[in-house]
């Protein structure tokens, strides 16, 4: 199913005497709303004549939203609702209640692959049979991540690793797959390369035969659709479908998904990530989603159409402004009432079962805090500190603005811990190592004591697990300016620079992509806030871009963020990649040109920007301009990429000896890089009619790709092998290579390679005298090339058709086609060598004179003589 139709299908139709207590202020309305929402959702599901999972036109009533200002207690509320939900189920003797928690502020939390696997892992607590989702995901993974075992991805992220191991997710999914592919009983680690290819093809073939999950509407379409994020974002439908079929233990299973800090999504100018998350919510109407954030969500409003898929009051009948009764709905979380605030303070600290805080102190705190829970937390901490010093807290020790309370909290700390809290306030997340880097003169004991402070939150789903509340970070920065020992602007910059350097040291060659992404996100925020920069951020950006994470890099930063020129340039580079990858090459050229002009050309960041400018120019058809930039990048940080693309430019321009000499000296960075080097060497030998050398290079590339599980690279090398063997009339080799390549291209679609394979079949048919097959293959080559906008495909078709006409004696037709080929290649500035090649089949002397600028590896007479012989010997 085409993407637009797939989208339409889902949017339509079917030691002290004082005891400190963990206190949750009894927000009666919110707790009641949660209970009513659960009851209402499951009552409607049980009474519905047609499940909303199947009837996708039904309005959704599965979103409960709590929104309000920072520090109001939304995260605490979310955690408490989850705790009560699970505790109530346990108390009632039910084991069918499942919760999934995602903090949207976590780096990569809204990456659709990560989010879906966290949902699947959570649901796995209900049972081990989720066939629709597991089989579709196996099909997707085999094509989207050739050579990468799913198990490696599960283990890479702490958040995913923890939940997946708790339920044995790997074993559950492997069991689902083994029902279709019995050999896949060794777990997900084997789901790579050929094993993955076999899995995908087995699933696809059974789907096409109607023997697999035929009763799951759109399952076949999802298996057959392109393996990309757009398709994957519809997979929550499969989870919901599987959930509907879970065995019932007296009642329908209860599933709640808690999405915290949701304002992060709504605050982005590009709502792509929010669109994917919204699809999860919409396509899982049998799950209650509890959203907490600073802003009301606007899905029921009409103006979001185009940015999000499912919008308007008919889609979300209970999320509009006018609904003030039917649950679930949107709730503004207000400040605590005076009585609730007093209850909190009475219960937070007790002595002998009675409130430790005198009534007058509580009144002073309540009058100053205005019902803000974070204000109360800090006041309680201050009270404890005063008691610890042996004093008796008085009324005068409390009250004042939030900033004043933050200032008192700083004063309560030792001098060493004051430096540490200021350091923690500079950055979004920290750990002991980063704090020591920020304050290298402090002993480990001070750091350890500081990390036990109650105002720090801890979440080991992050590489940097500790953080201060955002409102507290801002208040500490403001309060510090009025303290006698407060930091100066220079102090803050110096500490921020140390933090930035340490983040860079942690992002080494062995760092995971998740760790790299989290470090870069923190680094970019430091750069934006303090006008500092370090070269590692440019290199980390390139690494993540190469890994395909270009949509997420810097997504959490405001468009108004300012910083050093290098910071602005990195943001421009990211934007340039986004524009180029979405087909807006000219806009990418404009943005990157401006960014490059603002930097010294030798800086690492300037090199990053210029590298992507060259890529954009190449996409836009300016090979000469791109090559000039690649030359300037030689010897720099991106020398490897620049030299490769210059070799490719030399090859396209017919400077074969130059390209070959450079390729022989080039040192590869990894197996994928070496495979590209070998294939480009093969290209040079092939167009020089040195077919034996070309074959050797391609076969080496094939074996290398197989050994490292690089399915896409193997498919390319097999297509190139077919393009070489065809000229010698080796029909069996062409047929075998083409068949293997097409099988891999089922796994890793690449329509350009299909064009090359069909052109090779046209040539071998012409060489062996099968004119009808050759004509059909030429027509197919042109049709395929037109369908994907691949102009170079017509060059290949022209060469094959000229060969066919020469062997048929149609010299006039061959000359006419040669003129077309000459005009086309001169216009494009590449592949001009084909004109003297085909001319050698008509008149050798004319061929040499017509294109004297081609740099054949052993001279024009030898090269063109071989080409003439390749045709004349048959």
CA dihedral (324, 330, 335, 337) in degrees, to 10, reads 40
| Cα–Cα distance, 611 to 634 (Å, whole number) | 11
744 lies in which domain range?
Answer: 674-872
The answer to the question of residue 838 being in a domain is yes
Query: Is there a domain that residue 467 lies in?
Result: no
Task: Based on the fold, state whether residues 261 and 294 are members of the same structural domain.
Answer: yes
Q: 784: which residues sit within 8 A by CB, 6+ positions away?
A: 751, 754, 755, 758, 790, 793
Tokens of 257: 């998904």
> Are the beta carbons of 646 and 631 closer than 8 angstroms?
yes
Q: CA–CA separation, 242 vs 244, rounded Å?
A: 5
Residues 64 and 103 in one domain: yes
CA distance 118 to 154: 9
**Beta-bridge partners for 66:** 292, 331
Q: At what angle do helices 131-144 and 731-747 cross, to 10 degrees?
A: 130
- Statement to judge: residues 747 and 824 lie in one domain: yes
Residues 323-326: contacts with CB within 8 Å, 24+ apart?
Answer: 326/40, 326/61
Same-domain pairing of 174 and 250: yes
302 with 351, same domain: the answer is: no
Residue 335 DSSP symbol = P
Sign of CA dihedral 601, 602, 603, 608: positive
Structure tokens, 164: 């997946």
**What is the rounded distance in angstroms from the CA atom of residue 638 to the CA atom of residue 754?**
31
Q: Return the number of other C-beta atoms located less than 10 Å from residue 756's C-beta.
A: 25
Q: Is the peptide bond before 580 cis (omega within 30 degrees of 0)?
A: no
> Which 3 state secondary structure label does DSSP give 32?
helix
Residues 89 and 184 in one domain: yes
Token pair of 370, please? 């205005």
Label residues 659-694 b or e (16+ Cβ within 10 Å = b): bbebbeebeeeebbebbbbbbbbbbbbbbbbbbebb
- Distance, in Å, from the CA atom of 181 to the CA atom of 204, rounded to the nearest integer, reads 12
- How big is the chain, counted in residues? 874
- pLDDT of 581 reads 59
DSSP per-residue letters across 675-697: HHHHHHHHHHHHHTT-HHHHHHH
What is the model's pLDDT at position 315?
93
Is residue 323 domain-shared with residue 343, that is, in the same domain?
A: no
How far apart (Å, rounded) are the C-alpha atoms in residues 530 and 466?
A: 21
Tell me, yes or no, whether 659 and 709 share the same domain. no
Tokens of 580: 């180029």
Q: What are phi and psi of 280, to 5 degrees?
A: -55, -45
Q: Give the C-alpha separation, 858 to 648, whole Å.
A: 19
Specify if 760 maps to a domain.
yes
- Residues 365 and 650: their CA atoms lie apart, in Å, by 75
Contact 808, 771 (CB under 8 A): yes
Residue pair 476/483 in contact by the 8 Å Cβ criterion: no
In a domain, 373, yes or no: yes
Rounded distance between C-alpha atoms, residue 497 and residue 503, angstroms: 10
The SS3 call for residue 503 is helix
**Helices 792-808 & 771-788 angle (0-180, nearest 10):** 160
Q: Is 661 inside a domain boundary? A: yes
Query: Which of 332, 358, 376 is the last residue before a domain boundary?
Result: 332
Q: Is 155 part of a structural domain of the chain?
A: yes
CA distances from 758 to 324, 683, 741, 753 (A): 63, 17, 11, 9
**Strands 349-351 and 354-355, how do they pair?**
antiparallel
Q: Are residues 656 and 691 in the same domain?
A: no
Is 557 a domain residue?
yes
The count of domains in the chain is: 4
DSSP bridge partners of 290: 64, 258
Rounded Cα distance between 683 and 704, Å, is 17
Closest by CA position to 744, among listed 783, 705, 782: 705
Which of 613, 643, 667 is a domain's end point?
A: 667
> Which pLDDT does position 37 carry in this prediction?
96
| Of 644, 667, 690, the domain-final residue | 667
Structure tokens at 590: 């404009």
**pLDDT averaged per 10 residues in sequence order, the chain, 874 residues:** 50 51 60 94 94 93 87 84 94 92 81 91 92 92 76 75 82 84 54 61 83 89 87 95 89 94 78 91 97 88 75 91 85 78 84 87 85 79 80 84 78 85 91 95 91 79 80 80 84 94 88 80 88 91 71 57 79 81 74 86 91 83 84 90 88 91 84 89 96 97 86 90 96 95 78 91 95 95 83 90 92 93 83 90 61 84 88 57
Report whether 723 contacts 686 (CB < 8 A): yes
Would you state the structure tokens that stand for residue 838, as one six-digit string? Answer: 């085909």
Contact, 296 vs 330, CB < 8 A?
A: yes
- The three-state DSSP-derived secondary structure of 186-255 is CCHHHCCHHHHHHHHHHHHHHHHCCCCCCCCCCHHHHHHCCCCHHHHCCCHHHHHHHHHCCCCCCCCCEE
The radius of gyration computed from the CA coordinates of the chain, to the nearest angstrom, equals: 32
Q: Name the residue with tokens 């992060």.
A: 264
Count CB neighbours of 459 within 10 A: 16
Whether residues 717 and 655 share a domain: the answer is: no
Q: Are residues 114 and 236 in the same domain?
A: yes
In a domain, 454, yes or no: no
| CA separation for the pair 357, 214 (Å, rounded) | 66
CATH assignment at residue 686: 1.25.40.10
Residues 691 and 820 grouped into a single domain = yes
* H/E stretch holding 258: strand 254-260
């Amino acid at each position: 199913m085409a993407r637009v139709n797939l989208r339409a299908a889902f949017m339509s139709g079917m030691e002290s005497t004082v005891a400190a207590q963990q206190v949750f202020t009894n927000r009666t309305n919110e707790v009641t709303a949660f209970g009513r929402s659960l009851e209402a959702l499951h009552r409607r599901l049980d009474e519905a004549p047609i499940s909303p999972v199947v009837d996708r036109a039904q309005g959704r009533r599965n979103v409960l939203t709590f929104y309000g200002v920072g520090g109001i207690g939304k995260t605490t509320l979310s955690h408490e609702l989850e705790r009560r939900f699970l505790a109530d189920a346990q108390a009632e003797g039910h084991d069918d209640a499942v919760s999934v928690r995602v903090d949207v502020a976590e780096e990569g939390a809204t990456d659709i692959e990560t989010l879906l696997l966290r949902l699947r892992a959570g649901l796995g607590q209900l049972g081990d049979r989720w066939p629709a989702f597991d089989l579709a995901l196996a099909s997707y993974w085999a094509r989207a991540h050739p050579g990468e075992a799913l198990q490696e991805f599960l283990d890479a992220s702490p958040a995913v690793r923890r939940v997946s191991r708790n339920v044995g997710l790997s074993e559950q999914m492997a069991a689902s797959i083994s029902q279709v592919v019995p050999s896949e009983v060794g777990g997900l680690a084997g789901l790579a390369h050929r094993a993955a290819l076999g899995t995908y093809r087995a699933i696809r073939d059974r789907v096409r035969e109607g023997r697999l999950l035929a009763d799951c509407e759109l399952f076949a379409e999802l298996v057959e659709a392109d393996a990309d994020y757009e398709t994957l974002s519809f997979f929550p439908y499969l989870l919901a479908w599987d959930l509907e079929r879970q065995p019932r233990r007296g009642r329908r299973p209860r599933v709640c998904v808690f999405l915290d800090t949701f304002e992060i999504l709504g605050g982005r100018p590009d709502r792509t990530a929010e669109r994917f998350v919204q699809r999860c919510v919409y396509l899982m109407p049998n799950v209650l989603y509890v959203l907490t954030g600073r802003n009301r969500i606007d899905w029921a409003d009409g103006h979001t159409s185009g940015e999000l898929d499912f919008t308007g009051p008919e889609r979300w009948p209970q999320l509009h402004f006018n609904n003030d009764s039917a649950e679930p709905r949107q709730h503004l979380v207000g400040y605590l009432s005076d009585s609730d605030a007093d209850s909190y303070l009475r219960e937070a600290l007790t002595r002998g079962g009675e409130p430790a805080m005198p009534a007058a102190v509580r009144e002073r705190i309540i009058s100053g805090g205005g019902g803000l829970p974070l204000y109360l937390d800090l006041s309680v901490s201050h009270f404890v500190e005063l008691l610890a010093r042996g004093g008796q807290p008085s009324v005068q020790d409390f009250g004042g603005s939030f900033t004043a309370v933050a200032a008192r909290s700083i004063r309560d700390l030792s001098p060493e811990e004051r430096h540490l809290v200021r350091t923690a306030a500079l950055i979004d997340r920290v750990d002991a190592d980063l704090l020591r880097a920020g304050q290298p003169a402090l002993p480990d004991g001070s750091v350890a004591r500081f990390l036990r402070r109650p105002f720090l939150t801890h979440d080991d789903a992050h590489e940097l697990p500790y953080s201060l509340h955002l409102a507290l970070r801002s208040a500490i920065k403001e309060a510090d300016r009025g303290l006698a020992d407060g930091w100066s602007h220079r102090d803050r910059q110096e500490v921020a620079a140390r933090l930035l350097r340490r983040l860079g040291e942690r992002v080494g060659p062995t760092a995971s992509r998740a760790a790299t992404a989290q470090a870069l996100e923190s680094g970019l925020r430091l750069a934006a806030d303090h006008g500092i920069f370090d070269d590692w951020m440019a290199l980390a950006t390139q690494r993540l871009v190469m890994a395909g994470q270009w949509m997420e890099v810097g997504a959490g930063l405001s468009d108004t963020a300012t910083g050093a020129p290098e910071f602005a340039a990195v943001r421009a580079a990211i934007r340039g990649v986004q524009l180029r990858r979405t087909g807006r090459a000219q806009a990418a050229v404009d943005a990157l040109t401006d960014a490059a002009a603002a930097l010294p050309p030798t800086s690492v960041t300037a090199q990053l920007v210029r590298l992507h400018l060259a890529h954009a120019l190449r996409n836009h058809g300016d090979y000469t301009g791109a090559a000039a930039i690649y030359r300037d990048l030689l010897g720099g940080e991106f020398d490897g990429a620049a030299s490769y693309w210059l070799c490719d430019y030399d090859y396209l321009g017919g400077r074969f000896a130059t390209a070959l000499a450079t390729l022989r000296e080039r040192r590869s960075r990894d197996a994928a890089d070496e495979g590209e080097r070998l294939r480009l060497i093969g290209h040079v030998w092939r167009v020089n009619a040195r077919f034996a050398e070309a074959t050797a290079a391609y076969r080496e590339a094939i074996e290398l790709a197989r050994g490292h599980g690089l399915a896409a690279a193997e498919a390319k090398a097999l297509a190139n092998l077919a393009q070489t063997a065809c000229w010698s009339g080796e029909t069996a080799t062409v047929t075998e290579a083409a068949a293997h390549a097409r099988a891999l291209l089922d796994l890793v679609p690449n329509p350009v390679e299909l064009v090359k394979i069909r052109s090779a079949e046209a040539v071998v048919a012409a060489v062996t005298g099968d004119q009808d097959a050759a004509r059909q293959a030429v027509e197919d080559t042109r049709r395929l090339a037109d369908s994907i906008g691949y102009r170079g495909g017509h060059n290949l078709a022209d060469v094959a058709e000229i060969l066919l006409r020469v062997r048929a004696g149609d010299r006039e037709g061959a000359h006419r086609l040669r003129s077309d080929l000459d005009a086309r290649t001169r216009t494009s500035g590449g592949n001009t060598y084909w004109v003297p090649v085909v001319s050698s089949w008509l008149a050798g002397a004319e061929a040499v004179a017509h294109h004297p600028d081609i740099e054949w590896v052993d001279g024009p007479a030898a090269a063109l003589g071989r080409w003439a012989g390749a045709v004349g010997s048959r």
